[in-house]
A = this chain, B = another copy of it.
């Protein structure tokens, strides 16, 4: 192990950053079919051997990109109210999906996950981490008595993102700020009414 490999800001970290940046650009431009490791090396200005030795296949590279995206995602915003917090979450997701590069990248990652189990696993892990990051704002609302006891915090967070992804991937309706704000309002209303509480038998 070289000295660089244990220093976070060292050459190894810089190489990873450049390679994942190039991989993300290629995915956003043309999807998984476009993700050629030689081209990644060229764009990242890194030796081909380094890229092939460290990542080996496009699927491994995509999984590492998703891991990095989870690591570097923004922490949640704390506004003091559930509607404020979930609106902040919805707008963050909306801005990401509406951004030309990021939106195309997410489409490519989701498409890649439909036909590769390893990519699907990395994608699910990414959402698991993001949901874990935001779930405490729902738990806090339960503690404040804004939501019924037993509310499934993670399901409320999923409910905020779901309408935005449905528009992006299925119906094609615009992923705009109005859709984000409505997603947050709907999740709060449904949670308040107990729709994410323990299932009644």
Chain B residues closer than 8 Å to A60, beta-carbon distance: none
A165, B169: Cβ atoms closer than 8 Å: yes
Docked CA distance A136–B182 (Å): 21
Copies of this polypeptide in the complex:
2
Residues in A lying within 8 Å of B, measured CB to CB: 30-31, 33, 107-108, 110-111, 113-115, 120-121, 123-124, 127-128, 131, 155, 158-159, 161-163, 165-167, 169-173, 178, 181-182, 185-190, 192-196, 199
Q: What residues on B are CB-neighbors of A165 within 8 Å? A: 162, 165-166, 169-170
Report whether B195 and A182 are in contact in the complex, using a CB–CB cutoff of 8 Å: yes
A sample of 15 more A-B contacts (CB under 8 A), given A33-B115, A162-B166, is A107-B114, A108-B114, A110-B170, A114-B169, A121-B172, A159-B163, A159-B186, A162-B162, A162-B163, A182-B196, A182-B199, A186-B186, A189-B192, A189-B193, A189-B194
